[in-house]
Amino acid sequence: MKYNRILLKLSGEALMGSQQYGIDPVRLNEYATEIAEVANQGVQVAIVIGGGNIFRGLQGASKGMDRVQGDYMGMLATIINSMALQGALEGCGVKTKLTGGLAIDPIVEETSRKRAIEYLTEGKVVIISGGTGNPYFTTDSASALRAIEIQADIILKGTRVDGIYTADPEKDPTATKFDTLTFDEAYQKNLKIMDLTAFTLCKENNLPICVFDMNTRGNLLKVVSGENIGTIVK
């Protein structure tokens, strides 16, 4: 395997599958199967998942809700998704630990860098929920922070497109795909890979990002094996 320890970032919207909101059990189990396949190869896997399929703090704020209150509601949404993914992974026979920026006894234990690394070295998949535990930060920022904390080799950002393009390939048929990019190139081209806080954290800590299509069967294992899947920013 090319990567020994990864942080997989999934969007909450990805869990909707063909639904308009919530969690699609079929998509959830597809993801769990993919992650289990990688974990069973001995790769250490940490996961951060968003909550946009349930609630987004920014959307609440745009409708007049208090931003801080909305962000905490969004963090709780990530915990719901993380619990669902934990259940699906356990159903695949994978040992997991659910930690979080928000501790909710007895469901979620408080995130600790030291404990997370210990769990990973024991072969457990570590799901880190609750964002950073602070308002005004996205789950992109949380994934960058957690990846740096656990000394991950790379952030794998699983999306529904197969990499980074010059424009949105779902809207522009002439858009072309990048195989690799530097952080500076991505910034200069104004490519929306992660929010700026997360992106800067990755750049300053020399943490590469791979954007790939998580919805294609076998892609996660291919990326971890070092196949030329998706786009790498480094």
| pLDDT for position 218 | 96
| Alpha carbon 175 to its chain's center | 25
For each successive 10 residues of the chain (234 residues), what is the average pLDDT? 96 89 94 98 97 81 85 94 97 97 93 96 98 94 97 95 87 90 90 89 96 95 95 95
Contacts of 225 (CB under 8 A, 6+ apart): 1, 2
| pLDDT for position 109 | 95
- The percent of residues in the chain predicted with pLDDT above 70, rounded, is 99
Domains delineated in the chain? 5-161+207-228 (3.40.1160.10)
Task: Give buried/exposed letters for 183-216 (b at 16+ CB in 10 A, else e).
Answer: beebbeeebebbeebbbebbbeeebbbbbbbbbe
- The percent of residues in the chain predicted with pLDDT above 90, rounded, is 79
* Paired tokens of 86: 């934990």
* Paired tokens of 187: 């910034």
Amino acid in the structure at residue 59: Q
SS3 60: helix
| pLDDT for position 92 | 97
Contacts of 97 (CB under 8 A, 6+ apart): 109, 116, 119, 124, 125, 126, 127
Residues 34-50: tens digit of each pLDDT: 999 999 999 999 999 99
Amino acid in the structure at residue 168: D
User: 0.85 cut: is pTM over it?
Assistant: yes
